[in-house]
Structure 1
Amino acid sequence: MTDIIPANLPQNLPRSLPAQRALELVFGNYALNTRRAYERSLKDFQKWAGLHSAQDLESLDSLRMLEYKEFLRLSGKKSASINQAMSALKKICRVLTECGYLQQNPFKSSLIRNEKVSQLSNKGALRVNQLQKMLDANENIAYDERVETLLRHRNKVLLKFLYFTAARRSEASLLNWENIRQDGRFWIAILEETKSGVPQKLKIRDELYQELIAWRGALQLAGLNTPWVFPSLGQRSMGNQMTGKAINEAVRRLGHAIGLNISTHYLRHTAITLALEMGEPLQKVQAYARHASANTTVRYFHDQQLLEKNPTDTLPAL
């Protein structure tokens, strides 16, 4: 975690470890992306507040926290981003207080309320024919001639993997060949780093497994021995892990090729929505999507239904 200087405390308060180490111990079992978000939130707040000394920390109060929240809002941060940052600071302040690094918790939940966030999902579902058009466009995009064959093959398999498994881009980024295993008569992908922080597994349907095997063969034929299922094919990062940002850029480029402005999450949204539309039980789809709450799964479906079967569509024309 980012360095933070503990305040001058009475001798009876526990301070057996540096504050940084205490935070590392508390948040060590959190998911990687969650830890990064907490570190970034703390670092950004320290920079804004100019926290350099013990006295600076000790002078913090809820009004100062509210000022920071207002700063985030005025700087154009979305409500969800503001809530995420403040939630991280709330947790960090509570840990530092309970461990004795702060005499009083400066974060008062009764004063610092969450921003209201729209209940509508900000991502839509694609149609199957749009996915097919993206695959067709992949064959005609002007990729780097030095690796265009590998790029077309990788991006085709990547698109299918994200759609068939409803995986998140971070999960696809971290997937290595050792994660793909047989479980009885099924093939599965073990996700070691997930949003929940707990390893999970995804079923890989047979045709997708065959696509993955063919892709691995293409990599080996090209002399690219890499542990990553979806490696980077850049000249400076050839064979290294493909970042989540790069995965999103690959999907975005395929979308732009057919006139769509999309991100990787659209593929996940599409898979979940279509599964519900085809009559799969809610609990089964929730498990497939790995949503903590069924309400999230239902919202994906209802958002799309509201667009496709809107009551205003039946109003008489003028």
Structure 2
Amino acid sequence: MSDTTSASPFAAPPAGGLIAVDLDPRRQLTHRAIAGYLAGYSGATLDAYRLDLRQWATWLDGNGVDILSVQRARIELYARWSEEHGLARSTISRRLSTICGFYRYCSQEAVIDRDPAAYVRRPKIDYESHTLGLDRNELGAFLVQAGLCGGRDHALMCLLALNGLRISEALGADIENLDYQRGHRTLFVHRKGHKTATIPLAPRTATSLDLYIGERTSGPIFLNAEGTRRLDRHAAARIVRRLAKAAGIDKRISPHSLRHSFITAALDAGVPLRDVQEAASHADPRTTMRYDRGRGSLDRHATYIVATFVAGASR
């Protein structure tokens, strides 16, 4: 293989920061533009944006188009192609957001003369969540099965189902993040968008965590089966599927399904929307409302509460 073979612009730099030399100036410019854009992100966001751009570049390459010579029509064709291949509107919207951000960066940095994505139309998002969640009985059966397994699986499932953590938040937590505050067992978590929060743990969750951690005093809370490194999200997804099958649940659920179940259970139980939004760490209340299965219920219509409220004052 030639020494001039280019490194992928989507890969992390190798150890020592050395990057393979590419003598093609146009390819060098592309690599620098992609690397510069991705440099502004980290963690799960970086991984998602890198994947979005890799898929976009692969599609362009298959159509013989240079990524820095794109016209608006090509981006909209990609959106239509994605729809035809069954991608959800939310996924297409996110990919377009990444692409638009990339070209905006290239335009601002004078890598290209104008931004081809400036007026790209985005698909309308269906604000009804279609994630497969568990109802109250299914969630109870699932946690019973997790309790029978005990140890790591029970502790992790409690965090996902009873605290509604994102899988990245749960797996990224360390033992040092556990604490006691004003009589509550708490966990400090790093949330999406560089946010942090200290959350209270239900007694069941706190007990399961303490039993699983045992005598350990530092390091990741959740370890792989060998106990050598942090549990990864793929292994966590397999645990969720295994427990669901053991509980007799025939839905194909994921760790996010448990977060979804927490939010819908909280709303069904009558927890105020603002409190559920805060617990779920949603920046926009409309995101939380997507999970409200009962918001169309006539029994919950505001007219009944207002009529009772006003009648009480007119006596």
Q: TM-score, normalised by structure 1?
A: 0.75
Q: Which residue matches 1:196?
A: 193
State whether residues 6 and 19 of structure 1, in contact with CA within 8 Å, keep that contact through their aligned partners in structure 2: no
Q: Which residue matches 1:273?
A: 264
> Which secondary structure state, in structure 2, belongs to the residue aligned with residue 292 of structure 1?
coil
1:1-318 equivalences in 2 (<5 Å) = 2=10, 18-25=32-39, 27-28=40-41, 32-50=43-61, 56-109=66-119, 112-138=120-146, 152-192=150-190, 194-217=191-214, 220=215, 227-233=219-225, 235=226, 238-257=227-246, 258-261=248-251, 262-301=253-292, 303-304=293-294
| Distance in 1 separating the partners of 2:287 and 2:68 | 40
State whether residues 158 and 204 of structure 2, in contact with CA within 8 Å, keep that contact through their aligned partners in structure 1: no
State whether residues 127 and 287 of structure 2, in contact with CA within 8 Å, keep that contact through their aligned partners in structure 1: no
**CA, structure 1 residues 307+203, in 2 after alignment: closer, same or farther (shift >3 Å)?**
same
| Distance in 1 separating the partners of 2:55 and 2:244 | 33
**CA, structure 1 residues 156+304, in 2 after alignment: closer, same or farther (shift >3 Å)?**
farther
User: Which one-letter code corresponds to 1:75 in the other structure?
Assistant: H
**CA, structure 1 residues 225+103, in 2 after alignment: closer, same or farther (shift >3 Å)?**
same
> Which secondary structure state, in structure 1, belongs to the residue aligned with residue 194 of structure 2?
coil
State whether residues 125 and 270 of structure 1, in contact with CA within 8 Å, keep that contact through their aligned partners in structure 2: yes
Unaligned runs of 5+ in 1: 9-14, 141-150, 310-318
> Which secondary structure state, in structure 1, belongs to the residue aligned with residue 125 of structure 2?
coil
**CA, structure 1 residues 20+6, in 2 after alignment: closer, same or farther (shift >3 Å)?**
farther
Deviations 1:4-24 (A, max 9, x none): 99869xxxxxx9x94345324
State whether residues 181 and 187 of structure 1, in contact with CA within 8 Å, keep that contact through their aligned partners in structure 2: yes
| Distance in 2 separating the partners of 1:139 and 1:179 | 23
| Distance in 2 separating the partners of 1:106 and 1:35 | 23
Cα displacement (A) at 1:197: 2.5
User: Which one-letter code corresponds to 2:110 in the other structure?
Assistant: G
| Distance in 1 separating the partners of 2:153 and 2:200 | 20
User: Which one-letter code corresponds to 1:94 in the other structure?
Assistant: R
Cα displacement (A) at 1:291: 1.0
User: Which one-letter code corresponds to 1:123 in the other structure?
Assistant: T
| Distance in 2 separating the partners of 1:280 and 1:59 | 51
> Which secondary structure state, in structure 2, belongs to the residue aligned with residue 199 of structure 1?
strand
User: Which one-letter code corresponds to 1:243 in the other structure?
Assistant: D
User: Which one-letter code corresponds to 1:231 in the other structure?
Assistant: L
**CA, structure 1 residues 307+259, in 2 after alignment: closer, same or farther (shift >3 Å)?**
farther
| Distance in 2 separating the partners of 1:213 and 1:91 | 43
| Distance in 1 separating the partners of 2:54 and 2:237 | 26
| Distance in 1 separating the partners of 2:146 and 2:188 | 28
**CA, structure 1 residues 306+23, in 2 after alignment: closer, same or farther (shift >3 Å)?**
same
Q: Which residue matches 1:145?
A: none
Cα displacement (A) at 1:305: 5.6
State whether residues 136 and 265 of structure 2, in contact with CA within 8 Å, keep that contact through their aligned partners in structure 1: no
> Which secondary structure state, in structure 1, belongs to the residue aligned with residue 54 of structure 2?
helix
> Which secondary structure state, in structure 1, belongs to the residue aligned with residue 195 of structure 2?
coil
Cα displacement (A) at 1:57: 4.2
Cα displacement (A) at 1:93: 0.5
> Which secondary structure state, in structure 2, belongs to the residue aligned with residue 182 of structure 1?
strand
Q: In percent, how many aligned pairs have the same letter?
A: 23
Shift >4 Å, 4+ stretches: 3-8, 304-309
**CA, structure 1 residues 308+123, in 2 after alignment: closer, same or farther (shift >3 Å)?**
farther
State whether residues 72 and 116 of structure 2, in contact with CA within 8 Å, keep that contact through their aligned partners in structure 1: yes
| Distance in 2 separating the partners of 1:289 and 1:83 | 22
| Distance in 2 separating the partners of 1:304 and 1:123 | 16
Residues matched between the structures, number: 276
